[in-house]
Structure 1
Amino acid sequence: MAKATNKPKKAPAKRAKPKARARLGAPERMLRGFFSSIFRILWWIGLRAGIAVGLAVGIATAYYYSQLPDFDALLDGRDRGSVTFLDRHNNVFAWRGSQQGLARAEDVSPHLVHAVVATEDRRFYSHFGLDFRGLARAALVNYRAGGTVQGGSSLTQQVAKLIFFDNERTLERKIKEVPAALALEFKFSKNEILSIYLNRAYLGAGATGFQAASERYFGKSAAEVDPSEAAMLAGLLRAPSRFAPTNNLALAQERASTIIDLMEDQGYLTAQQAAVAHASPASLSRAAAERAGGDFADWVMSSGPDFLTRKTTEDISVLTTFDARIQRAAEQALTHVFETKVKPGSKAQAAIVVMSPDGAVRAMVGGRNLGGTEGQFNRATQAKRQTGSLFKTFVFAAALQSGASPLDTVLDAPLTLNVPGSGDWSPRNYSRQYRGDITLDDALTYSVNTATVRVSEATGRARVKALAQDFGVSSPIADGPALALGVSEATLLEMTGAYAGILNGGVAAIPFGMREIQLKEDGTHLMGSGRKPPVRVMNERAAGELVWMMNHVVERGTGTRAKLPDRPAAGKTGTTQAARDAWFIGFTGNYVTGVWMGYDDNTPLSGVTGGGLPAEIWQEAMVRITNGVPAKPLPMRAPEPAAPQVAMPDIRPGQVAQNVGDTVQNVFESVFRGIFGN
């Protein structure tokens, strides 16, 4: 039996006594109490400020929510309508006003939606109106750049800005955007918000909304754009005017390339799709690339009623007389002559107007584009310049209308007239030579000054003036004897229209460019051309003989450089004093074309007359215009050679140039002719 052993029990370990807590001194206790109090105060203030801010945001959000109209009413945010111009074949060639084409996000190309979201707000579908990460990123970028170079607004905030704040840029507006954006998110779905944005964003060249911009730049619906086109459209959002492809296509393509990279980075395009988009950058439609007819469109806009053109509240279509083929021919002719026959760097300007015999304007070039602001001034319709010898046509027209024959004779010799209040006036010929007795035909063919003044004085200045006005010269015409030599001013459009009346057999052809105005949506007729009934101002015999004389100007006179290789032409040259203006207006059986050349500041042209460069521009233009067009005979009529010819009465040296009785008589004749016709 084992012995029991009694082992001593281990005494339990003693617990370590806790160290005595160090007692804070009075200063430490006071400091801790101070910070604790500050924290409680800040918490109290912050909590209540947060509640106040939240309440304010809630009230503001409710306010903006109450101000939001229905979705459909928000799609079109324009304050005026648009004007779309259609040519004589009903093809679109120009746009004015604020273009609009409504489209919803679900209807446009997915590439377009992806391009906009990738560019403007990559987290658009995940945030609730505010992208705090985007705001922080933009703040950091702007801080590093030392200025505002990147915006942090969400797409919803941008919509709020478009609806409520009219693009104002203030800190107050940025604060207001927050509740406005929240209101949008409460009221509309993401697709509805995106749709509003797609329709209200301005994208340059007068296009509001992506549908209008797609039609404007690419000639297609926003539902049909490919990735490169979608990227170019989205790239316009940052700076519509700068990146507009009609202003700088290369810059627009460069910006689009950046957008394509964003779309690839965010998974909207595969690497292969992005490569294809980079390799095939978007390009403009033919109508957008040519930018043809801008001067013509501006003229029609200015001549139509404001409420249907410049101030229209509707989207309208203007059906015009414009012909894009003829416009291209005129522009190419002008460019060719200046590139091949004018000194490089010349600042000389030129303008062209082409119309049909009835006055329908087919093309208009308002000037050369020299890289400045000169393109804003239309020299075809706005510049009033002295007409020079171009006006002589009306002198001989009045003589023929009064019964004279082209074969009648007139003296070409030195001439002095006493003009009351001005003294003696002695016109001289350009050649400084005199031929003695010459026919009226030769006087016009060779543009003889002294003979023309004698014809004007014998016929009566009042008749000359009245006939020019009847043909459509609406600018003031001088009263003295110098009117025969074109000292009065007129526009190229006026003078070309007046010459169209001559081709039109003596029936006035007032220039017009509008056929009809319609509502764009459904074609509802709003207004016709407003043309007045044609009025005969010359009898057919006189008009035919005048065309016969004008044909000689081109065949053997001052306008031989305008001669065409395959059809007859007629016209008249014009050069003003010191060669400040040079003109040629002429016609074939199909078209009347007027050309003016000069400097905007009235600097004299060097070595240029109407029979020189203007005639060559005219010839180049008409060769292109009539290419493939069957030749139509001129309505000219040779005078009867057997008829007894007479000499125009001569003017005695120093004779007072008044013709008061004749003037009064001719004024009455003009009035009665206007009332009862010929």
Structure 2
Amino acid sequence: MTWLENDEPGLWEQLPSWVFAMGRIFLRVVGIGCLLAVVVALLYWLQAAQFDLTKVEKMPERTLLLDREGQELAAIHGSRRRLITYEDLPSHLINALTTREDKDFFEHGGVHFRGVARATLRNLRDRSMTQGASTLTMQLARNTFEMREMSFHRKLLEMALAYRLEANFDKKEILTAYLNRIYFGAGAFGIEQAAQSYFGRPTADLSVPEAALLVGIIRAPHAFSPRNDEEAALRERNDVLRNMAIDGHLTPEQRDEFLQAPLHLLPAREEQVDAIRCVRRHLNELLDQNDFASGGLTATSSIDREMQRLARQGIDEILAPFAQLEAALVALDPATGAMRAVITARDAERSQFNRAFDTRRQLGPAFQPFIYAFSAERGHLPIPNQPIQTARQLAPGDLERLARRIGFGGPFTTGDELARGNLQTTTLEVATALATLANEGREPRTYLVESLTDSEGELLFQQQPQGKPALDSFAAQSPFEILGKPTWSALNHPGNDLWALHSSPDLAVALWLGYDEPADVPEAAKLAENATALLTTLARVARIQREERAAEEAAEEAAREFERSR
């Protein structure tokens, strides 16, 4: 028997040539793709290497806000962060955080590739950047280096930075830095400040439901903060608790018990919230963003603590019987333009919108005293209780020109409509106009920051009160001679906006009451009475303070005179 050679072609030889061609193309594409991936990874690694990792554990220094007397009003940056160590973290807080944000935190090297791939596919499908898949390490990189742009570039840079963080810090250090830095809403930066702000206890003493609530806030600090939306906060907390049970951190019995737990939040009312927010706004205008973010500053504000307290308490009492009714108030020192009290909303904790500076409403009959001043400015005799007839004495366009001169910004109507007070204005503009009348016709430049020093005590900024002539002093005083009083109120037509105004050498105050969506102001007569009473109280406080300061200065001068005569 002989063995015959098999002349049949092999399997590979039977394949058509185009298969080999496609295979070669595929291998080239894969090779090029791998090479590009290596190049991209190298580029992002080099870019990530430019970031200073010492910033991860270095929190911003404290920035203090002081009132006009130099007493601490608030800490608005670094000192809001009360730093904790890993040993301060209860195990159920760590379990809640990893369950919610990063289940594989203790296993991965900084990036969870399956999650990233899944999110990338969804983003490509949706043509958006709605899916994040960021690990805790990536989130720490984003928050430390303030990378807010929603893009694939930012995501790749986050990944490269996450690898660097994992190479330089252990898991405990990363977790601790994350919880010390993250924002928990309602002005609370870091887990310790959040625990104290919401529950009045240190992080180590947080209960399981409390820890779950704080973790639930992280994804949307404003929307999920119980200060803004208790229902949303409760929903997110319960979602965290259910997932903790799924992951084996809670028994079904514990889960059911904790789901029924009430929130038990600390009361959030702070009398200074409005003022603090406005001072921060002024600081943002004065400072470069990097200077503000680094902290270490001391800002002395113009806010009078007692006046701010009285304003907040008075507004709360006025609004208490009327759900949804809003308010705004600005109190100024007429001579300098210093803001002594600011109310921006019915509840500044819940509403971020500044109604004192940004809401424009119709002034209505409250414009009448200013018309008297404008008439006197042009040499005419104001006609009491006849604003339209008085305004007709002026040349066309004069009413708007003079209104702009004393601080009103418009938009304005014309003719008789403007004389009826048909102009849109803010509470701050009205207060500025009142201060101009009280300051003998000189319009002051308003401000909230008196001075600013750095961490070394070096003066960075000193406010220099400024003003400009707007009206003749006689014209500025004419409204008070006609009205016979420094405080008055007026309801516009058709009754959507109630204004209470005060103007005297000690204080200029404008108070607005109304609804965000225009509607009739309820019990307008009673509200007007209460509003003018509040303004009278604030003015009396300003007068007493002036008299006390004058007495102190006289006593000091007498003491100096006595020393000189010895």
Output the amino acid matched with 2:355.
N
Q: CA 1:84 to 1:269, structure 2 compared with 1: closer, same or farther past 3 Å?
A: farther
1:242 aligned partner: 223
Q: CA 1:549 to 1:61, structure 2 compared with 1: closer, same or farther past 3 Å?
A: same
Output the amino acid matched with 1:514.
V
Output the amino acid matched with 2:312.
R
Q: Structure 2 CA distance, aligned partners of 1:148 and 1:63?
A: 19
Measured after TM superposition, the shift of residue 296 of structure 1 is 4.5
Q: Within 5 Å, which residues of 2 pair with 1:506-521?
A: 511-519=446-454
Q: Structure 2 CA distance, aligned partners of 1:84 and 1:576?
A: 41
1:231 aligned partner: 212
Q: Structure 2 CA distance, aligned partners of 1:180 and 1:411?
A: 71
Measured after TM superposition, the shift of residue 496 of structure 1 is 3.0
8 Å Cα contact 1:364/1:380 also seen in 2: no
8 Å Cα contact 1:595/1:614 also seen in 2: no
Tell me which of 264, 285, 288 is aligned to 1:306.
Answer: 285
Tell me which of 291, 296, 315 is aligned to 1:331.
Answer: 315
Measured after TM superposition, the shift of residue 571 of structure 1 is 1.7
2:105 aligned partner: 124
Q: Structure 1 CA distance, aligned partners of 2:150 and 2:444?
A: 53
Q: CA 1:598 to 1:228, structure 2 compared with 1: closer, same or farther past 3 Å?
A: closer
Output the amino acid matched with 2:315.
E
Aligned residue for 2:294, secondary structure, equals: coil
Q: Does 1:594 align with 2:518?
A: no
1:254 aligned partner: 235
Deviation larger for 185-194 or 376-385: 376-385
Q: Structure 1 CA distance, aligned partners of 2:521 and 2:173?
A: 66
Q: Does 1:188 align with 2:169?
A: yes
Measured after TM superposition, the shift of residue 483 of structure 1 is 9.0
The Cα offsets for residues 141-160 of structure 1, whole Å up to 9 and x where unpaired, read as x9xxx999997654345446
Output the amino acid matched with 1:193.
I
The Cα offsets for residues 416-463 of structure 1, whole Å up to 9 and x where unpaired, read as xxxxxxxxxxxxxxxxxxxxxxxxxxx4xxx35489679x89xxx99x
2:355 aligned partner: 378
Q: Does 1:109 align with 2:89?
A: yes
Aligned length: 516
1:618 aligned partner: 531
Tell me which of 72, 76, 83 is aligned to 2:54.
Answer: 72
2:561 aligned partner: none
Aligned-CA RMSD value: 6.7
Q: CA 1:179 to 1:396, structure 2 compared with 1: closer, same or farther past 3 Å?
A: closer
Q: Structure 2 CA distance, aligned partners of 1:633 and 1:164?
A: 46
8 Å Cα contact 2:345/2:353 also seen in 1: no
Measured after TM superposition, the shift of residue 209 of structure 1 is 4.9
Q: Structure 1 CA distance, aligned partners of 2:423 and 2:156?
A: 63
Q: Structure 2 CA distance, aligned partners of 1:620 and 1:328?
A: 14
8 Å Cα contact 2:376/2:382 also seen in 1: no
Output the amino acid matched with 2:369.
K
Aligned residue for 1:531, secondary structure, equals: coil
Measured after TM superposition, the shift of residue 598 of structure 1 is 6.8
Measured after TM superposition, the shift of residue 612 of structure 1 is 3.9
Aligned residue for 1:392, secondary structure, equals: helix
8 Å Cα contact 1:102/1:199 also seen in 2: yes
Measured after TM superposition, the shift of residue 194 of structure 1 is 2.5
Tell me which of 330, 337, 347 is aligned to 1:353.
Answer: 330
Output the amino acid matched with 1:314.
S
Measured after TM superposition, the shift of residue 34 of structure 1 is 9.1
Q: Structure 1 CA distance, aligned partners of 2:171 and 2:314?
A: 51
Measured after TM superposition, the shift of residue 116 of structure 1 is 2.5
Measured after TM superposition, the shift of residue 317 of structure 1 is 5.2
Percent of aligned pairs with the same amino acid: 23
Aligned residue for 1:245, secondary structure, equals: coil
The Cα offsets for residues 587-617 of structure 1, whole Å up to 9 and x where unpaired, read as 799865423457889x8x87999x8466235
Output the amino acid matched with 1:101.
R
Aligned residue for 1:125, secondary structure, equals: coil
Q: CA 1:282 to 1:480, structure 2 compared with 1: closer, same or farther past 3 Å?
A: closer
Measured after TM superposition, the shift of residue 271 of structure 1 is 9.9
Q: CA 1:256 to 1:389, structure 2 compared with 1: closer, same or farther past 3 Å?
A: closer
The Cα offsets for residues 265-301 of structure 1, whole Å up to 9 and x where unpaired, read as 7787899998997676555554xx3376666555445
Q: Structure 1 CA distance, aligned partners of 2:382 and 2:262?
A: 70
2:554 aligned partner: none
Output the amino acid matched with 2:269.
E
1:392 aligned partner: 369
1:3 aligned partner: none
Q: CA 1:148 to 1:397, structure 2 compared with 1: closer, same or farther past 3 Å?
A: closer
Output the amino acid matched with 1:526.
L
Output the amino acid matched with 2:339.
V
Measured after TM superposition, the shift of residue 120 of structure 1 is 2.8
Output the amino acid matched with 2:448.
G
Q: Within 5 Å, which residues of 2 pair with 1:393-472?
A: 395=372, 443=384, 447-449=385-387
Aligned residue for 1:240, secondary structure, equals: coil
Structure in which a larger fraction of residues adopt helix: 2
Aligned residue for 1:124, secondary structure, equals: coil
Measured after TM superposition, the shift of residue 190 of structure 1 is 2.0
Aligned residue for 1:353, secondary structure, equals: strand
Measured after TM superposition, the shift of residue 260 of structure 1 is 4.7
Output the amino acid matched with 1:259.
V
Q: Structure 1 CA distance, aligned partners of 2:151 and 2:207?
A: 37
Q: Structure 2 CA distance, aligned partners of 1:121 and 1:203?
A: 18
Q: CA 1:523 to 1:261, structure 2 compared with 1: closer, same or farther past 3 Å?
A: farther
Aligned residue for 2:86, secondary structure, equals: coil
8 Å Cα contact 1:497/1:511 also seen in 2: yes
Measured after TM superposition, the shift of residue 29 of structure 1 is 11
Q: Structure 2 CA distance, aligned partners of 1:174 and 1:634?
A: 58
Measured after TM superposition, the shift of residue 67 of structure 1 is 1.1
**What is the TM-score normalised by the length of structure 2?**
0.61
Tell me which of 458, 461, 468 is aligned to 1:527.
Answer: 461
Q: Structure 2 CA distance, aligned partners of 1:176 and 1:290?
A: 41
Output the amino acid matched with 2:428.
L
Q: CA 1:300 to 1:156, structure 2 compared with 1: closer, same or farther past 3 Å?
A: closer
**What is the TM-score normalised by the length of structure 1?**
0.53
Q: CA 1:54 to 1:580, structure 2 compared with 1: closer, same or farther past 3 Å?
A: closer
8 Å Cα contact 1:326/1:363 also seen in 2: no
Give ranges in structure 1 of 5+ residues lacking alignment: 1-22, 340-344, 405-409, 413-442, 554-569, 636-678
Measured after TM superposition, the shift of residue 378 of structure 1 is 2.8
8 Å Cα contact 2:452/2:462 also seen in 1: yes
If you compute each CA radius of gyration, which structure gives the higher value, 1 or 2?
1
Q: CA 1:211 to 1:337, structure 2 compared with 1: closer, same or farther past 3 Å?
A: closer
Output the amino acid matched with 1:74.
V
1:364 aligned partner: 342
Tell me which of 427, 435, 439 is aligned to 1:492.
Answer: 427
Q: Structure 2 CA distance, aligned partners of 1:171 and 1:398?
A: 63
Output the amino acid matched with 1:364.
V
8 Å Cα contact 1:366/1:381 also seen in 2: no
1:428 aligned partner: none
